[in-house]
Amino acid sequence: MKSIIYTDKAPEPIGPYSQAVQTGNMLFISGQIPINPESGELVSGSVSEEAMQVMKNLKALLSTAGLGFQNVVKTTIFLSDMKHFAEVNEVYGSFFTSDFPARETVAVLGLPKHVNVEISLIAVKA
């Protein structure tokens, strides 16, 4: 059985997918890009600002499901260019304090709406 997780505190999906899906004790959050859910606009500026908005969007979805970053077991970071790695990693790391999740970071040819960073994650309810 699965439950669709939705919040207006994260961006509306821009395609035929859910913001997040919970099945059993697992939560799968779709890739988040730096869209401000209040305005619906892309956050522009530095890669750090983009990464911060992405992490805020992920936090809102985790919170809606009654979870936090301590429940995250796996993340995937997509970058428009690996030159952004250190900047995104600094912001990303500020949301985790210990028991870090498994992760991969990949550079891709293009991301939705030409953003520089997208992050998806999997979390487990203890």
Query: Where do the structural domains in the chain lie, given as residue ranges?
Result: 2-124
For 58-95, the pLDDT digits (tens) are 999 999 999 999 999 999 999 999 999 999 999 999 99
Asked whether 36 and 22 are in contact (CB, 8 A), the reply is no
Three-state DSSP string of 5-39: ECCCCCCCCCCCCCCEEEECCEEEEEEECCECCCC
Is residue 126 over pLDDT 90? Answer: no
Asked whether 59 and 94 are in contact (CB, 8 A), the reply is no
For 26-49, the pLDDT digits (tens) are 999 999 999 999 999 999 889 999
Q: Residue 19: how many CB atoms within 10 A of its CB?
A: 21
pTM: 0.97
For 3-18, the pLDDT digits (tens) are 999 999 999 998 999 9
For 91-111, the pLDDT digits (tens) are 999 999 899 999 999 999 999
Confidence label for 119 from pLDDT (cuts 50, 70 and 90): very high
CATH H-level superfamily of 2-124:
RutC-like (3.30.1330.40)
